[in-house]
Structures are given as structure tokens and as C-alpha cells.
Structure 1
Amino acid sequence: MWDYLLVFLLAAVPWFEIGLIIPVSILAGMNAFWVAILAFFGNLLTVYLLIVFFDRLKGWFFRKKKKEQSDQEEDSGRYARANRMWDKYGVSGLLLAGPFLTGSHIAAGAAIVFGATKTKTLYWSTISLGLWTLVFTIGSIYGLGWLTDVNLSF
């Protein structure tokens, strides 16, 4: 039972999320159905909290941030990827690709910063996390099956 609670909690952490937790948990021999359900809801819970309390979090973040970043620094890394996704595909594309490219939390925050409504962000985040949970779960199950069929002796 503690293993499954850990799946829920780690899936809620922005740097672990479903893309890491689901494959590792299934590889560890845990039940794929319960791993998928708990990872989905763990990740979704913190994404929802981020979206609902975004205004407060944004204010806290900018108060904590003491130094100014130049435009060049701000356009680097995950923010730049999120910005490109937004420009090309809008809120649905950003949030559908988010868990794979930037992480679901960053994608949801970026969608709101770029102008998406909270309702639309909640809607597309739920769909995105549901689809990616299925992809990671099925991929992990079949990937593990493939690994057990392969003779890895040298």
C-alpha cells in the first residue's frame, strides 16, 4: 500500500510526473492499473491546484525573484518550447504536448500566462494527462513484455 501512496505523491511532484513514475513503477512489478489511476490523479491534483491558485502563485514567484532576467534568458529552455507550442498550436496543442515536452505543470502555467482561460486550461490538462497516462502505461506494459522476451545475455 505504501508503494501506491508513493506513486500518487511522486506523480504530483513537477519533476517526476507521470512520464517517469508510471514506467518505473510498472517495471518494479506494481499493478499497472492502480499505478495509472494513482499517477493520473496525483499529477492532475497538483496541476488543478496550480491552475486554480495561479494568480497567487504568480505573485509569490515574482516577489521571491530578486534579479531581473533578460529577454534572452527568458526565451531559453522550457519556456521557449512552451512559447513555440503556443504560437503554433494554441492551448490544446501546448497542453497535449506538455507532459512530454515541458511537463504538465509548466505547460498549464504557460497556457495561462499566454492568455488561456482557467476553464479551458483545466479541460485540456485533464484530457492531456488522461491520454499520456494511457500512452505511458501501455508503452510500459508492452515495453516490459518486449524486454522479457529479448535475450540480453552477452
Structure 2
Amino acid sequence: MKIASVIGASILELWMAIPLGFALRLHPVVIAIASAFGSIIAAAVVIFLAKSLRNWLMKRMERKNKKQGRMGRIWEKYGVIGLGLASPLLTGAPLGAAIGVSFGAKPVTLFIWMVIGIVVWSGILTAAVAMGMISLTSFV
């Protein structure tokens, strides 16, 4: 049940899932895997299954300037690779996937780079929290 809670929280937001995993006293490796898994599920749903959402976003982005905002600048400078690596940290996987789709990224390519970004940031954030917890316990 604890792991399912971390996966569920990660579907919504990676930043929420990792502290939840530590609060539930899960092992850091389990937290990293579960949080990555949840975010990957969210990205896959948006990229591959949410066709009406994709169509709405494509129409909306046609009316707006693609270069607005941080993700637009990342897209212009680094393309799908930069978006896939940065969005799990900056916007969350579901919104990052939606942004990539709205910018016209190929779904499979976007998914691959989103997975890489999710795994990298899940590992980094989990390790950072684990190190912080170790530091706190050494002071007490």
C-alpha cells in the first residue's frame, strides 16, 4: 500500500512522491523506482492515450506563440531532448508531456526522453533527500 501511494503521488507530481516515500519509511531505492514508475505512467497517458487533450493543446498552441515561457525557450534551444530532461523537474511529467505534444514532438521520441529525464531526476532527488536525512540524523 505504501508503494502504491508513492506511485499515485508521482502520477500527480514527482516532487510530492519522494518526500511521501520517506515519510512512509520506504527504502530510497524503492522510492526512486516507484516515483519514476508513476511519472512514466503519467507521461505515457498524456503522450499516447489522451488524444482529445493533445488535439486541444495543438489547437491552442497554434493560436499562441510557441516561444512563451521557460519550456518554450528550452524547446527552442534544446528541442525534445531538453524538454524531456528538464520538464520532469520544472513542470512535472504530465504537463511536460503535454507541452512536448503541443510543440509537435514525435510521441515515441518524446516518451523516450521523458523516461530518461524522469529516471534521472527521480534518482537525483531521492539521493538528495536521503543525504539530507542522513545529515539530519547525524546532528541529532
TM-score (norm 2): 0.84
Q: Distance in 1 between matches of 2:116 and 2:57?
A: 27
Q: 1:98 pairs with 84, 87, 93, which one?
A: 87
* CA displacement at 1:54 relative to structure 2: 4.0
How well do the aligned residues superpose, as a CA RMSD in angstroms?
A: 2.5
Q: Is the 8 A contact 2:85 2:117 kept in 1?
A: yes
Structure 1 match to 2:17: 21
Q: Is the 8 A contact 1:27 1:140 kept in 2?
A: no
Task: Give the unaligned 5+ runs of structure 2.
Answer: none
The within-5 A match list for 1:59-70 is: 59=55
Q: Distance in 1 between matches of 2:90 and 2:9?
A: 19
The within-5 A match list for 1:1-154 is: 2-13=1-12, 17-59=13-55, 75=68, 80-150=69-139
Residues 78-105 of structure 1, C-alpha deviation per residue, up to 9 Å, x if partnerless? Answer: xx11111111211111110111212222
Letter in 1 for 2:20: V
Q: Distance in 2 between matches of 1:148 and 1:28?
A: 17
Q: Is the 8 A contact 1:21 1:39 kept in 2?
A: yes
* CA displacement at 1:19 relative to structure 2: 2.1
Identical columns (%): 27
Letter in 1 for 2:122: T
Larger Rg: 1
TM-score (norm 1): 0.77
Q: Distance in 1 between matches of 2:55 and 2:88?
A: 24
* CA displacement at 1:27 relative to structure 2: 4.2
Letter in 2 for 1:12: I
Letter in 1 for 2:33: I
